[in-house]
Amino acid sequence: MLEIADLQVELDADAGLVRAIDHMRLTLTRGETFALVGESGCGKSMTALALMRLLPENGRVAGGAVKLDGRDLLALPESRMREVRGGRVSMIFQEPSTSLNPVMRVGDQIVEAIQAHTALRGAAARAKAVDWLKRVGIPEPERRIDDYPFRLSGGQKQRVMIAIALAAEPDFLVADEPTTALDVTIQAQILDLIRDLQRERQLGVLLITHDLAVVSGMAHRVALMYAGQIIEVAPAAEFFSTPKHPYARLLLQALPDAGRRGEPLAAIAGTVPPLWLDFAGCRFAPRCDKAMLHCAGTPPLLTEEGPQHQVRCLLYSQPGEALPRATAQPKVERAQASGQGAPLLDVRDLRVRFQLKAPLFSHGLRHFDAVDGVSYQLHAGRTLALVGESGCGKTTSGKAIVQLLRRQAQISGQALFDGQDLFQLHGPALVEARRSVQIIFQDPFASLNPRMRVADVLEEGLIALRPELDAGQRRERLLNLVDQVGLRRDALQRWPHEFSGGQRQRIAIARALAVQPKLIVCDEPTSALDVSVQAQILNLLRELQREQGLAYLFITHNIGVVAYIADDIAVMQRGRIVEQGACADVLGQPREAYTRTLLAAVPRLNISAS
C-alpha cells in the first residue's frame, strides 16, 4: 500500500545542512500497523511530515519517492495532494492545541472533514460528527459539539483531532504520538478504537511513538530509527523478544519495571549526534557497548538477518575485533529504608480548595476541592508514589507540601514534617522548612530561568535559604553539586538553552539538592524525557537516595517507573486516595476497582531483552 523508497530529507539550520532522513526504505501493507520508534530527533516525525508533504519551510525532500498504491505522492501537483491529504491519508498530530482551528466550533471542524471526503451533508453529517465524538470518548457529545477548542482539556482536544482524522474515513492513517498527551484509560480507549477501525476498514497505520509498550500492543512490524536512519526492522514480537541492534537491546534494558528494582537501569552514555555532521562510520559507535575497532570508520548497511528482520550493524555483516572497554558495573544492592519508626512526613486530612470565578450575574463564590481529605506517611530514605489520572489532585497535593499554593488556595489539614506542621510555620521556621522540602518539576525546559547561567540558578536558592554560607563556601557547594549530578564543571558558566532535556533535568535536580533537603517532591520528573535519558535520571535519583537518605514523594502516571522506584504507592482519584500500601501489594493485588481499571489500561511490555 505504501512504499517509501530511498527517501532523503534535508533541513537548513544555523549550524549547516541537516540530513534529517538518510536513504529510508520501508513498505506497509493494507491492514498493517507499522511502528516507527526512536528517541527525540531521530527523524520519526520528519518522516511523517515528508510523506504528507508538510515539511517546514527550511526543509525539502532531496531524493526518493513515497508511493501510495503505486502513485508517487512527492510528484503530485499540490491541488491533487490536498485531496489525498485528509482524504485517503489522514494524520493525527502530536500537538492538539496548535492543530485545531481556535475560532471554529469543534463540531464544524469534524463536519468539514466529513463533507469534504464523504457523501454525507447537513444534519446527517452533524449526526455523524456526534457519533465520532462519542466513539473517541468525549462525554456529552451532543452538547460538546458546539464548544470552541479552548473549552476542552488537552486530552479532549487530542480526541477531537483523532475524530477529525478518522471522520474522513481514510485508507491510511499516520499517527504521530497520538496518545502521548492522554491519560492511560483514554489512551487505551483510543488505541482500541484505532485497532477496531483497522480491522473494519483494513486501515494501514504508520504509528510514530517513543512508547515501546504502546508499540508492543499495537504494531505488526517495528522500525527503529537512530540519527536519521532505520537501524532495525522486524516483526514486533521478534523485535521485543530478540532485538539484534545493540541500541535496541540497550533501549529495552533501559525501561524501568518491577523486575529491575534494586539494580541500575542500562544507561546509554552520550547523546544522539547532531545530523549536520559527516559520518565516517556507524552513527551509534560512540555510545555502543559492542563497538569494534572498525565501527568508527565503516558505515554499516541494513542487511537481512532473518525473514523480515533487517539490522544495520557490523556485528552481523563484518564481525571484527572488539574495542577494549571498562568492565561492567557491579550490581548495586538497594539500601532499603525500613519504613518503621516516626515518619518524616505525616500528612493528615489534607484539603486544597480553589475559589473559582462566579459566572456573570450569579451570586456567591464557587469552589473546587482539588484535594479532598488525603492522608499518607513517608519515611526517610523511602519513595512514595502518588499515581492517578490528570486532574486527580496528585500534583496539587505535592505543591501544597512544598508551600507553593499558600496564596492561591485554601489549605487545611496537617502536614507534619519532622513533627512540625508545615502549614502553621512562619518566619525562620518556614525558611528552614522550605530548605528541607524541595521540588523537581516535569518540564526541564520551562522550570529553569533562561536568562540565568547555571551557576546563578543553583546559587539563588543557596543565597535565600543558606544565608550563613559565604561566597567561597557557596562556590565549593556548586562544584560539588555539578559533580553529584554528573555534569561537567564548566556547565556552571553556561546557559540553560545550551543543554539537552536530560541535562536540564540534572540541573533542576542539582538546584533542589543545593540546600540539602530531606524530602524532594518529584513531579513527573522523567515524563518529558526519552527512555535512555529517563534511565539516567532514575539511576541518579536512586543513587542520591542511597547516599543521602532522601525521601521522595514521586508523582507520576508511569506505572513502570513506579514499579521500579517506589516503596509505597497511593492511588488518587478525584482528590482522594482510593488505595494505598506497599508497591508490590498494590500493583500485584489491587483491591479497589479503580486501581484495577487504571492498571488494566496501562500498556505493558512483557519481555526481557536479551
Q: Which is nearer to ligand SF4, 104 or 280 (CB)?
A: 280
Contacts 24+ apart (CB under 8 A), 108-112: 109/160, 109/164, 110/145, 110/160, 110/163, 110/164, 110/167
CA geometry: angle 422, 425, 431, nearest 5 deg: 95
C-beta of 528: minimal distance to ligand SF4 in Å?
Answer: 27
Buried-exposed string 59-68: b where 16+ CB fall within 10 A, e elsewhere: bebeebebbb
Task: For residues 351 and 576, give the distance between their C-alpha atoms in angstroms, rounded to a whole number.
Answer: 9
Task: For residues 23 and 172, give the distance between their C-alpha atoms in angstroms, rounded to a whole number.
Answer: 22
Task: For residues 489 and 477, give the distance between their C-alpha atoms in angstroms, rounded to a whole number.
Answer: 12
Q: What share of the chain is helix, strand, coil (3-state, %, to 5)?
A: 35, 25, 40
Task: For residues 584 and 590, give the distance between their C-alpha atoms in angstroms, rounded to a whole number.
Answer: 10
Q: Which is nearer to ligand SF4, 188 or 302 (CB)?
A: 302
Longest CA–CA separation in the chain, Å: 80
Q: Is the sign of the CA dihedral 3, 195, 94, 113 positive or negative? A: positive
Task: For residues 311 and 316, give the distance between their C-alpha atoms in angstroms, rounded to a whole number.
Answer: 8
C-beta of 391: minimal distance to ligand SF4 in Å?
Answer: 43
Say if residues 283 and 291 touch (Cβ distance below 8 Å): no
Q: Which is nearer to ligand SF4, 303 or 597 (CB)?
A: 303
C-beta of 272: minimal distance to ligand SF4 in Å?
Answer: 13
Classify burial at 156, counting beta carbons within 10 Å of its beta carbon; exposed 0-12, middle 13-18, buried 19 or more: buried
Pairing label, strands 221-226, 33-37: parallel
Q: Which is nearer to ligand SF4, 283 or 506 (CB)?
A: 283
Q: Which is nearer to ligand SF4, 45 or 253 (CB)?
A: 253
H/E segment holding residue 415: strand 410-417
Q: Which is nearer to ligand SF4, 231 or 519 (CB)?
A: 231
- Count the neighbouring beta carbons within 10 Å of the beta carbon of residue 199: 9
- Count the neighbouring beta carbons within 10 Å of the beta carbon of residue 143: 11
Q: Which residues contact 224 (CB under 8 A, 6 or more apart)?
A: 37, 38, 230, 231, 232, 233, 239, 245, 247, 248, 251
Q: Which is nearer to ligand SF4, 302 or 337 (CB)?
A: 302
Q: Is the sign of the CA dihedral 226, 228, 229, 234 positive or negative? A: positive
Q: Which is nearer to ligand SF4, 194 or 315 (CB)?
A: 315
C-beta of 456: minimal distance to ligand SF4 in Å?
Answer: 39
C-beta of 230: minimal distance to ligand SF4 in Å?
Answer: 13
C-beta of 396: minimal distance to ligand SF4 in Å?
Answer: 45
C-beta of 322: minimal distance to ligand SF4 in Å?
Answer: 9
Which region, left, alpha or beta, applies to residue 29 given φ > 0 means left and ψ of -120 to 50 means alpha?
beta
C-beta of 63: minimal distance to ligand SF4 in Å?
Answer: 24
Q: Which is nearer to ligand SF4, 303 or 375 (CB)?
A: 303
Closest CA to 567 of 334, 265, 252, 256: 334
Q: Which is nearer to ligand SF4, 194 or 254 (CB)?
A: 254
Task: For residues 443 and 347, give the distance between their C-alpha atoms in angstroms, rounded to a whole number.
Answer: 26
Q: Which is nearer to ligand SF4, 292 or 433 (CB)?
A: 292
DSSP string, 187-217: HHHHHHHHHHHHHHHT-EEEEEES-HHHHHH
C-beta of 326: minimal distance to ligand SF4 in Å?
Answer: 16
C-beta of 238: minimal distance to ligand SF4 in Å?
Answer: 18
Q: Which is nearer to ligand SF4, 320 or 588 (CB)?
A: 320
Q: Which is nearer to ligand SF4, 205 or 288 (CB)?
A: 288
Q: Which residues contact 343 (CB under 8 A, 6 or more apart)?
A: 377, 378, 379, 416
Which region, left, alpha or beta, applies to residue 236 given φ > 0 means left and ψ of -120 to 50 means alpha?
alpha
CA geometry: angle 602, 607, 610, nearest 5 deg: 150
Task: For residues 511 and 439, give the distance between their C-alpha atoms in angstroms, rounded to a whole number.
Answer: 9
Report the number of secondary-structure helices (H) and strands (E) in the chain: 21, 22
Closest CA to 551 of 565, 571, 570: 565
Q: Which is nearer to ligand SF4, 310 or 595 (CB)?
A: 310
Q: What residues line the site for ligand SF4 (CB under 6 A)?
A: 246, 282, 284-285, 288, 290-292, 295, 300, 313-315
